[in-house]
Amino acid sequence: MINNKQYKQPISVLIIVYNNLRQILLLERADKPGYWQSVTGSQEPGETIEQTALRELAEETGIHSDTIHNWHQSSVFEIYPHWRHRYAPGVTHNTEHVFSLCIAADTPVHLAPREHLRYMWCSLEQAIEQVFSPSNRAALWQLPQLW
């Protein structure tokens, strides 16, 4: 337990949000300033992976959607040591499921201030250079196949 909360499950989602102008939404982490990423988050008990993706999208950006594109793709990666305390002892790897969502360019974004400092819209090339996570970068490389 962490502060009377359960440990995070080592199952998460990565949601690439892009707009009709082909700009990518990136969020700067509050707990690691300078670390930019797409929407991410861990699955909670009882949720399907799609429910996790929709919940995280709404919590982190204020964007509500009934549908999201499930890539039916996942990757396993080692959890960074500075975040392992969030998981049960001995958990070192996470399985991340990839989703995407295309929205209108004028859709408002409302950040969760405890999670993110700011957001930006950028080109695919800029997003690939900016994100800190190799799995996020790999997913961004695949995004043009959906356009």
Positions at the binding site for substrate: 8, 29, 40, 133
Spell out the alpha helix ranges (H) of the chain. Answer: 49-61, 124-130, 134-142
SS3 breakdown of the chain: % helix, strand, coil, rounded to 5?
Answer: 25, 35, 35
Per DSSP, the three-state class of 45 is coil
Alpha carbon distance 131, 54 (integer Å) = 21
Positions at the binding site for Mg(2+): 56, 60, 115
Alpha carbon distance 88, 82 (integer Å) = 14
Positions at the binding site: 8, 29, 40, 56, 60, 115, 133
Buried b (16+ CB within 10 A) or exposed e, 7-34: ebbbbbbbbbbbbeeebbbbbbeeeeee
